[in-house]
Chains A and B, each alone.
Chain A
Amino acid sequence: MAGKTYAPLKGIDNTGDVPGPRTPLILENKTYGQITEQVCSVVEDPKVHRTWLLSFMAAVTFLGVLFSLIVYLIVTGVGVWGNQIPVAWGWPIVNFVFWVGIGHAGTLISAILFLLRQDWRTSINRFAEAMTIFAVVCAGTFPGIHVGRIWLAYWLFPLPNQMLMWPNFRSPLLWDVFAVGTYASVSLVFWYMGMIPDLATIRDRARHPLRRLGYGILSLGWRGSARAWHRYERAYLLLAALATPLVLSVHTVVSFDFAVSQLPGWHTTIFPPYFVAGAIFSGFAMVVTLAVPARAFYGMRNIITMRHLENMNKVILATGSMVGYAYSMEFFIAWYGGNKYEQFAFMNRAFGPYAWAYWTMVSCNVITPQIFWFKKCRTSIPIMMVAAILVNVGMWFERFVITVTSLARDFLPSSWGYFHPTIVDILMLIGSFGLFFTLFLLFLRFLPMIAISEVKSVMPFPKPTQKQPSEVESAPVPSVN
């Protein structure tokens, strides 16, 4: 950025680095105590905000729709969906891959950016990890109910039984069980472990005995001793190192669901990295979609600053370009490979009955992120919100295009079809957003949305307005953090 200056946006522009001292990540020169107050007050506010309550009620309604439809599905059968032969994988699998993809940004932010020592992750990692967990919950729902006999789903686990039967370890759908199961549990541990010091802070500030008890138990007696911190940091590093290959492998395994098959349009070796790039792409778009309203609503603009949003937009641009590269490479290989089925599969995507879906996908995923080459767009809230939402729409369509168009027209023209979603398909997708937002809103209300202790580690030293240690020695023992 050297040599060029930008007019500051509203308030302080911390999006550019000038030679010399680095621009701060956390703005407004707050003290440690003020940051604690700022984040904790969201959780401690005795008043339930009307906007929160209304959104929560809406989310729970859609959650109820999802649950009732799941019951309807189990009682009636999977025929309530639009899935038919030849398109036997319809929206449920599309939604599954969509939600798993959303979840990937969380672990990327908390683990990979941690290993890369990216300090800007501290303001958004709690947020993103929560998003991961809830997205994985949504994702896990779909393969679970997609099987026709849900009550036998435990046969997927290698348990000794009276049939002497084991699952077939050659199926990527079984790898999915392990991949998503491991991903969910590791992400949960990672998220919870990272939250323990903050939960202890809330516990220490709690007035009501019930709150003190609840957060006291959740924080597992954390005192913030040097020894505890030392071990905490070690464990966090190890978990980050473990979660990093998980991010890459989980979506790789999900891509194997398709790539391992022999269907033209599915059988492609580019799928694993392309799916992972797409997952990070959609995940970051979701983080932006959630972070922008949350930082405005809860007054976190000084912690989740424009610089954070800009960095995320840069990641969106990078991964969006990777996805665009993969799209063009698929077409190139289809032409270059000389296989008429594959050539047809891709011609069919672009110009067949699903051309509308294909071009929606391309315009949302390839064209939209390119606006982030311009700093004006990267740092404009309305533009990035629209772009992020478009990216998520596009990424849903990417999974739809891959799954449905390849299945609808394959080797035998006698088994060509067209997929028509039913109302159950549509309401279940909407319902899964209900599930996601119910959990997410509960998280915002009851857990610290910013990693307080981590944010403090990237803040400049507190200003001398704070009392010096010598001044507080005679005072009662100060609270941890």
Chain B
Amino acid sequence: MFHFPSWTLTLRDMSGGVLLLAPLYVIGLVWFGASPKTTDAGYQPTQPIPYSHKLHAGDLKIDCRYCHNTVEDAAHSAVPPTATCMNCHSMIFTESHKLTPLRESFETGEPIEWVRIHDLPDYAYFNHSAHVNRGVGCVSCHGRVDKMEVVWQHEPLSMGWCLDCHREPELHLRPQSEITNMDWAPANQREIGQRLKELNGINPPTNCSTCHR
């Protein structure tokens, strides 16, 4: 009579271990899948010009809308053209070698090839003005840009992340006057948000046609 080879007993014990490890594996997989890294959060490419938001928005306190001037009117928030930079840099740091690409762009008319960080797929139609005009501050979605030497993607921009806010906007709504204020962080956010939500009739849609037009 053939006996089950005894070394398979170790296999059997190992299979017990595998069964124990399986839930860990699943949890790990979910953990990894839900990790911000998976959705590109933290993406920080090198830009053609080492432009510092920390310097301009943070230290110099330039309002966000000075450069990103279409954000209240258009679906797309503009990256400023070379001309906007040259408003100041035709006279400031005219010799800086860091700004060489800027001057070249101004002379040749060729645009600077900034690397886009917040890149939604083209089947998702995001509208900046719809959010900015209803009390969603820059900081809610882009993080503390005024403290970023080089900008990175702060939030996952995943659909689940969008829906979280559309289902509970009171956690992020702020008065219109504080839209570009990066420091604004009230203790009673939920209360304020709730009041603003009712006052302005904010009822974010969660159906498909809102974004996937």
A interface, CB within 8 angstroms of B:
160-165, 203-204, 206, 212-213, 216-217, 221, 477, 479-480
Q: Interface stretch among B30-38, B76-84, B88-96, B97-105?
A: B30-38
Minimal beta-carbon separation of B26 from chain A (angstroms): 10
The answer to whether the Cβ of B8 comes within 8 Å of any Cβ in the partner chain is yes
The answer to whether the Cβ of B156 comes within 8 Å of any Cβ in the partner chain is yes
Known: A216-B8, A217-B8. A162 touches B158 (CB 8 A): yes
**CA separation between A161 and B30, bound complex, in Å?**
8
List the B side residues contacting A162 at CB < 8 Å: 33-34, 38-39, 156, 158-161
Minimal beta-carbon separation of A167 from chain B (angstroms): 14
Minimal beta-carbon separation of B155 from chain A (angstroms): 12
Main SS class of interface, A: loop
The answer to whether the Cβ of B5 comes within 8 Å of any Cβ in the partner chain is yes
List the A side residues contacting B66 at CB < 8 Å: none
Cβ A163 vs Cβ B4 within 8 A? no
List the A side residues contacting B38 at CB < 8 Å: 162
Q: Which of A165, A221, A480 counts the most chain B CB atoms within 10 A?
A: A221
**CA separation between A171 and B117, bound complex, in Å?**
38
Known: A216-B8, A217-B8. A164 touches B1 (CB 8 A): no
Cβ B159 vs Cβ A163 within 8 A? yes
List the A side residues contacting B8 at CB < 8 Å: 216-217, 221
Cβ A164 vs Cβ B5 within 8 A? no
Minimal beta-carbon separation of B115 from chain A (angstroms): 23
Cβ B2 vs Cβ A163 within 8 A? no
Nearest to A221 among chain B residues (CB) is: B4
**CA separation between A163 and B34, bound complex, in Å?**
10
List the B side residues contacting A212 at CB < 8 Å: 2
**CA separation between A216 and B2, bound complex, in Å?**
8
Q: Which of B4, B30, B34 counts the most chain A CB atoms within 10 A?
A: B4
Nearest to B164 among chain A residues (CB) is: A164
18 extra A-B contacts, CB within 8 A, seeds A160-B34, A216-B5: A160-B30, A161-B33, A161-B160, A162-B159, A162-B160, A162-B161, A163-B158, A163-B159, A163-B160, A164-B159, A164-B163, A164-B164, A165-B159, A204-B2, A212-B2, A213-B5, A216-B8, A480-B1
**CA separation between A165 and B156, bound complex, in Å?**
16
Q: List 11 A-B contacts (CB under 8 A).
A: A161-B33, A162-B156, A162-B159, A162-B160, A163-B160, A164-B159, A216-B5, A216-B8, A217-B8, A221-B8, A480-B1
Nearest to A215 among chain B residues (CB) is: B2
Q: Which of A160, A162, A212, A480 counts the most chain B CB atoms within 10 A?
A: A162
Cβ B4 vs Cβ A216 within 8 A? yes
**CA separation between A221 and B163, bound complex, in Å?**
53
User: Using an 8 Å CB-CB cutoff, how does the interface string of B158-202 with A read, 1 for contact, 0 for none?
Assistant: 111101100000000000000000000000000000000000000
Minimal beta-carbon separation of A362 from chain B (angstroms): 44
List the B side residues contacting A163 at CB < 8 Å: 158-160
User: Using an 8 Å CB-CB cutoff, how does the interface string of B1-35 with A read, 1 for contact, 0 for none?
Assistant: 11011001000000000000000000000100110
